[in-house]
Chains A and B, each alone.
Chain A
Amino acid sequence: MTTFLQLTVNGLGKGAVYALLALGFVIIFRATGVVNFAHGSLVLLGGYLVYATRDALGYFGAVAVGIVVAGLGALLVERLLISRTRLADPIALALLTIGVDVIVLEEIVRRLGTNLPFLNAPFGNEVLRFGEVAVLRAQLVALVVGGLIIAAFFLAFRYTGWGLAMRAQAENREASALMGIRSARVTASAWLVAGALAGVAVVFIATQDFSGAGLSRGTHAIALVAFPAAIIGGLDSTAGAVLGGAIVGLTEAYSAEYISFDFSKSAVYIVMLIVLVVVPSGLFGTKEIHRV
């Protein structure tokens, strides 16, 4: 039982980070209809900036820079490429992001060279004990930070003009444009926010406790987990992204313990396959109805 509780806390900690990724992914999808294959390279971009600036700026300064640059990177992709291809179909847009991804990924991996830096926070990795349950502090920080950001996002999404504009546009792009919502601005802000979320996530991913590996090609692969998380929850559901992130985190934690560590990555994708077959539009996704 203790193990189980421990796994649950750890899994939720990971899940919170995955939820940040999946949330960004869903925001982009809702705003532009783009399945963003470049999400992993946004993660790497933020992480690389943290690594490159932390000696000069200190940990928190570097993290801030990383988050901002990841957001700006996403904004740049939207402004320079996606906004110019309004009429292209979703597959073409997805392929476009693959092109971006390949370039950014290879460039950052090249710059890192044989350096695979951990982005751990400078303060210790001590284990906290709550009675029988031992929890890694980093996981708890991830859970709290992830939870706060997600809560802030949902509040903004629900109560601010920006959130209303986002929801309106996702509902009906033309009607919202006719109502005076500036479509370009909404879209751009969606990418900016999604990129920033990726920038937050990487600070947790490239650590000893989370992935056991420093910033590298592997970080990019971990970020791909945003796909199953988003698909499980429903690609156009922000709440679904959070749920999906949690499911993915828990699946990984449980299967690594109870089945085998090697299997845990595959387990996540198998859960996604099952969801796809049973509920093709995800747990919370809108079903699309076609009229012939």
Chain B
Amino acid sequence: MSDARQELARAAPVDEAAVSPESPQATVGDDPPPQTPLDTRPPRGRGDIVRWVAWVALAVVLLALPLYLTTPWLRVGEYVMIGAVAAIGLTLLTGQTGQLSLGTPFFMLVGGTSYVVLAGQPSEISDEEFLGFGLPPMLALVLAVVVAAIFGLAFAPVAGRVKGIYLAIATLSLVYLGLYLGQSLPYITGGTASGRNPEDLTMFGFSFTSNDPEISLLGVPLRDTERLWWLFLVLTAIAYVLAQGAIRGRPGRSWRAVRDNEFSAAVMGVRVAWVRAGVFAISSAYAGLAGVMTVLWFGLLKADETEFAGTWSIVVAIGFLAMIIIGGLGSVPGAVVGAMLVNGLPLVIQLLIPQSSVLRELTGGDNGFTPIVLTAFVYGLAIIAVVLFEPGGLAALGRRFTNALNSRTKPTKGN
């Protein structure tokens, strides 16, 4: 209660955003279909079985894909999964809690760097080139996520107090900080010139990032790309399930309470500043994991040269926001679909160029519509369309579609 009073006393800057319960946001985040604040689980029925079968089928397909897809296409999928993990984290922060952030690339940089440093072999040359602790890579991966979360928590004085759009501007400073630190600490980040290579991700002698030991399944040799696919799939699945669980449970309820009206949330006993800082740390941890995945995917950690182009830049931050808006703010499956569009489309176009003369003409030349430009057009337009016509994003469209199907079979079911 004292917290609430403090919040009131401080009376942070104007933001009607989170306050109006009838804002489109309010309808967006109620993600798992029929859900009331008290009862979190709908009774089990036939729909549930259908859902389980669908999930298992999806899992089987995703697990089997490396046996059929070629390496470049697998890498597209892996890149989508990187985006999905970061976007899931961001949608918890932005969609569920109403806090906008452009700091995702910074925490990705923190996560990626932590992995490389923790797993890296300490160089035995006298003038040490790179810092490294030589921890087991799997442990380094987990610790990297923890480090990113700690960095997120360290931002609590800002993340807990500053709300809504203001946080987006505040987190913009993190991108610049990342840029500066990345450039000025080359013995940690590898610098901008050549970067540094991450340690092989191995567990019990099995490497996920190289072809060692050589194995094959159904006549398909399982090389680094295939292994990385499965690793990423597992990581993404964990990220997905944890996020859905949190949204359905107590944390999710407190997030949405803060988003919809921070003052009534405070009155209900939600510690607003804590919740804001906490969800920021969680989302940072997600970004950290995505950062580790990015470093593994590129096989390289390299600091950016500018704040507006590169792996950890503002453009990337905007891309993540685009993912979650298009997918539907607050929706975890929506975040994944958004990642497919924003991260997947440019790579897919790139892959299609050799096969299509139209694309070749379009993308070629000095002023060509490169895959990146085309994708930016698509997602820029998609953002505008979503805000104008369907504030719930693709998730809302999907829900409406399944509801329509459901109501045809079970007309009584409603929420």
Could you list which residues of chain A lie within 8 angstroms of chain B, going by C-beta atoms? Answer: 33, 35, 81, 84-85, 88-96, 98-103, 105-107, 109-111, 113-114, 217-218, 220-221, 224, 227-228, 231, 234-236, 262-263, 265-266, 268-270, 272-273, 276-277, 280-282, 285-290, 292
Assess whether B373 is in contact with A106, with CB atoms less than 8 Å apart: yes
Closest to A270 in B: B173
- Establish whether residues B387 and A96, one from each chain, have CB atoms under 8 Å apart when the complex forms: yes
Residue from B11, B24, B373 within 8 A of A289 (CB atoms)? B11
A220 contacts B308, CB within 8 Å? yes
Cross-chain pair count, CB within 8 angstroms: 185
| Complex contact B383–A95 (CB within 8 A) | yes
Distance to closest chain B CB from A42 (angstroms): 15
| Whole-angstrom distance between the Cβ of A213 and the nearest chain B Cβ | 10
On whether the beta carbons of A89 and B263 are closer than 8 Å, the reply is no
CA of A98 to CA of B172 in the docked complex: distance in angstroms?
14
* Chain A hits for B161, CB < 8 A: 276-277, 280
**Is B376 a contact partner of A102 (Cβ separation < 8 A)?**
yes
Residues A218 and B306 in contact, CB atoms below 8 Å apart? yes
Q: Is B325 an interface residue (CB 8 A)?
A: yes
Q: Which residue on B lies nearest to A99, using beta carbons?
A: B383
Binding stretch for chain A, among B13-21, B115-123, B194-202, B287-295: B13-21
In chain B between 358 and 379, which residues have their CB closer than 8 angstroms to a CB of chain A?
A: 366-370, 372-373, 376-377, 379
Known A-B contacts: A103-B381, A110-B373. Give 18 more (CB < 8 A).
A92-B25, A95-B387, A98-B322, A99-B379, A99-B384, A100-B380, A101-B380, A110-B367, A110-B370, A217-B308, A221-B307, A221-B314, A234-B13, A266-B180, A268-B176, A282-B13, A287-B11, A290-B19
Q: Report, as a range, how many residues of chain B touch the other chain.
A: 35 or more
For this complex, 6 residue pairs linking A to B, each with C-beta atoms less than 8 Å apart, are A35-B168, A89-B16, A231-B170, A265-B180, A272-B173, A276-B170
What residue of chain A has the Cβ atom nearest to residue B19's Cβ? A290
Q: Is the CB of B169 within 8 A of A231?
A: yes
B331 to chain A, nearest CB (A): 15
CA distance A84 to B11 in the complex (A): 30
**A102–B383 CB distance below 8 A:** yes
Q: How far is the CA of A90 from the CA of B366 in the complex (A)?
A: 38
Q: How far is the CB of B318 from chain A (nearest CB, A)?
A: 6
Cross-chain contact B177 with A98 (CB below 8 angstroms): no
User: Within B19-49, which residues are at the interface with A (CB < 8 Å)?
Assistant: 19-20, 23-25
- Asked whether any CB of chain A lies closer than 8 Å to the CB of B10, the reply is yes
Whose C-beta in chain B lies nearest to the C-beta of A279?
B13
Q: Mark B378-403, 1 if CB is under 8 A from A, else 0.
A: 01111110011001000000000000
Question: A97–B30 Cα gap in the complex (Å)?
Answer: 25
Smallest CB-CB A-B distances: 5 pairs = A99-B383, A269-B173, A103-B380, A102-B380, A89-B23
Query: In whole angstroms, how far apart are the Cα atoms of A221 and B100 in the complex?
Result: 19
Contact partner of A224 among B14, B100, B314, B376, CB < 8 A? B314
- Pairwise interchain contact A94-B306, C-beta atoms closer than 8 A: no
Query: Are the C-beta atoms of A110 and B318 separated by less than 8 Å?
Result: no
Contact A92 B387 (CB under 8 A): yes
A103–B318 alpha-carbon span in the complex (Å) = 12
**Is A236's CB under 8 angstroms from B308's CB?**
no
Are A266 and B308 in contact, CB atoms less than 8 angstroms apart? no
B168 touches A94 (CB 8 A): yes
Q: Does B166 count as interface, using CB distance less than 8 angstroms?
A: yes
> What are the residues of chain A within 8 A of B321 when measuring CB–CB?
95, 98
B263 CB contacts on chain A under 8 angstroms: 290, 292
A95 to B166, CA, bound (A): 13
- A81, B384: Cβ atoms under 8 Å? yes
Q: Are A286 and B14 in contact (CB under 8 A)?
A: yes
Distance, CA A277 to CA B158, complexed state (A): 6
Most buried by B among A96, A221, A286: A221
- Please measure, in the bound complex, the distance between the C-alpha atom of A95 and the C-alpha atom of B391, giving whole angstroms: 11
Contacts of A107 in B (CB 8 A): 373, 377
The CB with the most chain A CB atoms within 10 A, among B16, B158, B180, B322, is that of B180
